[in-house]
């Protein structure tokens, strides 16, 4: 096992060396104010049998989770996804069904209070959607994608406690404590690929506790295990494509003192200034045809600090559950008047459920994804005229099952909004110790594209839409669901009998020509 703890401070945060104490076997941190990433790398032999068996049948498996609350993503942890659980999966054998991945997901993500699986997955070919790829030859994304709303990670923590921690013969309490820290994380990633044959679990905390981080990290009991520790500050690199990191590093149990370091690397993901924000809302009343509004403040509309020869465009990536969908023919139009009226430039990619008529209960897959290039005003117009800039995306609601109240709630996660800029041909993006890939939308761009992330405004990053549905019989009203169902069946039966009678009548007239002539004269 390998563990890496990284504390990332902003250049404005004061740092005192006496907050860190390093001894021969432990490292202590006292009241440290910083963002934090905790990364653990495990070999397959260190995993529970049920998890190891599934991974051995997988070419790659990536789980991405983000909280529903807004948080600051600072460099080098600037990348974002919509809140919820995202699963990116490529099976080892494409021609074989891999039902075990769904079984594993249902085992891990369970609502223990109600005893029900949070993940509605049966088979990958029925529940996952196919990821659109820029190039099938040089694909950097998994082939299948799944999403579900997951407000917290209590089910994952419970699974880790009863399997991975239980499997360890020593240090079980420390394992439980580390697992419990995921309950307060802002994002969590789990990665596996068949090349490395290792599983990496990463947790990110954008804010420290009220009194700062206070912790004692001990040397691992095994000589094969390693604990790396670092306190770093991110600054702009010499090149615009780079991030420069400086601070202190140490390997617990090996180094006698913290070692100063300074290094830089090209990065795909860069944060914009804190005032480059956006918000999401739906026009009221929503009805069955809601319109998503993405409002961006003027600082968000300024060209990001990419190289001058780079081409930049503003984008948004939507992750829509099955209850909400877009019309690919309407949104994929080339009609400039329609696009300009919604401040859209083009629909760049879409995948998932596209049936315009199917009700929600008839949809097998979890939903759909949409990548839009947004129109943006000129710099002068944005600075002198516009207070904000709003792009609107017309969507549709599927028919949902009836309810006692006559309404159901559809929950839509906020999309991510970012600038995508092409990098120079010679830029290498491969060497980055904090790189984060397989986000769902990054694979829709070339490998040298740089992304500049807008910050969602403070609040809950999920919008709730009240959907009118058929009201069940609860003793009120004259028309109930049962009456409507019986009435519909009766009308269908009458129509069938009428058609059947007309067919019999035509056949009878053809069989008796004389009667047919008298029938025609009478008419």
Q: In this predicted model, what pLDDT tens digit does every residue of 45-98 receive, in sequence order?
A: 888 888 888 888 888 999 999 999 999 988 899 999 999 999 999 888 765 557
| Residue 473 domain-assigned (yes or no) | no
Mean pLDDT, the chain, as a whole number?
85
Q: Is 394 exposed, middle or buried (0-12, 13-18, 19+ CB in 10 A)?
A: middle
Q: What is the DSSP string of 125-163?
A: HHH-EEPP-S-SSS--S-SEEEEE--S--HHHHHHHHHT
Q: What band does 137 get if pLDDT is binned at 50, 70 and 90?
A: very low
One domain for residues 344 and 318: yes
Query: So what's the pLDDT on residue 380?
Result: 55
Query: So what's the pLDDT on residue 131?
Result: 82
Q: What band does 136 get if pLDDT is binned at 50, 70 and 90?
A: very low
Q: How far is it, in rounded angstroms, from Cα 198 to Cα 180?
A: 22
pLDDT above 90 as % of the chain: 40
pLDDT at 405 over 50: yes
Q: What band does 391 get if pLDDT is binned at 50, 70 and 90?
A: very high
One domain for residues 347 and 436: yes
| Residue 329 domain-assigned (yes or no) | yes
Task: Determine the average pLDDT of the residues in 303-320.
Answer: 92
User: Which of the listed residues 207, 236, 255 is the one where a domain comes to its end?
Assistant: 207
One domain for residues 66 and 117: yes
In this structure, are residues 265 and 242 in contact, taking their beta carbons and an 8 Å threshold? Answer: yes
H or E stretch including 482?
A: helix 481-511
Q: How far is it, in rounded angstroms, from Cα 94 to Cα 88?
A: 15
One domain for residues 12 and 106: no
Q: What band does 100 get if pLDDT is binned at 50, 70 and 90?
A: confident
**Among 202-211, 274-283, 388-397, 487-496, which is the least confidently predicted range?**
487-496
Q: How far is it, in rounded angstroms, from Cα 239 to Cα 243?
A: 8
One domain for residues 299 and 419: yes
Total length of the chain: 523
Q: What band does 500 get if pLDDT is binned at 50, 70 and 90?
A: confident
Domain carrying residue 501: 481-522
| Domain count of the fold of the chain | 4
In this structure, are residues 465 and 282 in contact, taking their beta carbons and an 8 Å threshold? Answer: yes
One domain for residues 258 and 290: no
One domain for residues 173 and 200: yes
pLDDT at 133 over 60: yes
One domain for residues 316 and 430: yes
One domain for residues 65 and 15: no
List residues bridging with 42 in a β-sheet. 199
Q: How far is it, in rounded angstroms, from Cα 403 to Cα 389?
A: 38
One domain for residues 144 and 54: yes
| Residue 505 domain-assigned (yes or no) | yes
pLDDT at 523 over 70: no
């Amino acid at each position: 096992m390998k563990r890496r703890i990284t504390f990332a401070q902003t250049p404005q945060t004061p740092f005192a060396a006496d907050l860190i104490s390093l001894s021969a076997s432990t490292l202590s941190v006292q009241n440290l104010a910083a963002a934090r990433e905790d990364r653990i790398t495990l070999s397959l032999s260190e995993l529970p049998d049920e998890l190891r068996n599934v991974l051995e049948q997988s070419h790659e498996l990536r789980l991405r989770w983000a909280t529903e609350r807004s948080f600051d993503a600072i460099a080098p942890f600037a990348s974002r996804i919509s809140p919820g659980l995202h699963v990116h999966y490529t099976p080892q054998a494409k021609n074989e069904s891999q039902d075990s991945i769904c079984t594993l997901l249902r085992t891990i993500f369970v609502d223990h209070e109600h005893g029900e699986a949070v993940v509605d997955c049966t088979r990958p070919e029925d529940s996952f959607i196919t990821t659109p790829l820029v190039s099938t030859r040089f694909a950097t994304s998994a082939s299948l994608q799944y999403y579900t709303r997951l407000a917290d990670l209590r089910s994952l923590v419970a699974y880790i406690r009863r399997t991975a921690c239980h499997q360890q013969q020593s240090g079980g309490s420390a394992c439980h404590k580390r697992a419990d820290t995921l309950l307060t994380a802002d994002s969590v990633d789990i990665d596996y690929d068949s090349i490395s044959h290792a599983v990496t679990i990463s947790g990110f905390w954008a804010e420290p506790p009220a009194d700062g981080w206070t912790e004692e990290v001990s040397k691992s009991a095994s000589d094969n295990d390693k604990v790396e520790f670092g306190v770093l500050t991110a600054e702009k690199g010499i090149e615009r494509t780079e991030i420069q990191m400086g601070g202190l590093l140490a390997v617990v149990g090996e180094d006698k003192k913290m070692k100063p370091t300074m290094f830089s690397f090209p990065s795909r993901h860069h944060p914009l200034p804190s005032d480059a924000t956006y918000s999401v809302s739906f026009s009221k009343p929503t009805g069955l045809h809601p319109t998503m509004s993405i409002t961006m403040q003027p600082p968000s509309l300024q060209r990001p600090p990419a190289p001058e020869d780079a081409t930049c465009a503003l984008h948004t990536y939507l992750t829509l559950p099955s209850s909400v969908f877009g019309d690919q023919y309407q949104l994929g139009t080339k009609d400039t008047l329609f696009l300009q009226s919604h401040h859209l430039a083009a629909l760049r990619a879409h995948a998932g459920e596209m049936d315009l008529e199917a009700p929600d209960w008839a949809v097998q897959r979890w939903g759909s994804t949409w990548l839009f290039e947004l129109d943006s005003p000129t710099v002068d117009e944005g600075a002198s005229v516009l207070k904000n800039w709003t792009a609107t995306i017309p969507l549709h609601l599927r028919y949902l099952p009836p309810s006692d109240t006559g309404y159901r709630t559809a929950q839509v996660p906020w999309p991510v909004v970012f600038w995508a800029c092409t990098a120079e041909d010679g830029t290498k993006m491969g060497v980055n110790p904090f790189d984060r890939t397989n986000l769902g939308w990054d694979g829709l761009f070339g490998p040298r594209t740089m992304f500049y992330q807008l910050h969602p405004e403070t609040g809950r990053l999920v919008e709730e839409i009240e959907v009118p549905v058929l009201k069940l019989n609860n003793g009120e009203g004259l028309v109930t669901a049962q009456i409507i169902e019986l009435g519909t069946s009766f009308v269908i039966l009458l129509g069938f009998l009428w058609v059947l009678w007309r067919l019999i009548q035509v056949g009878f007239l053809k069989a008796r020509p004389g009667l047919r002539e008298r029938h025609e004269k009478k008419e």
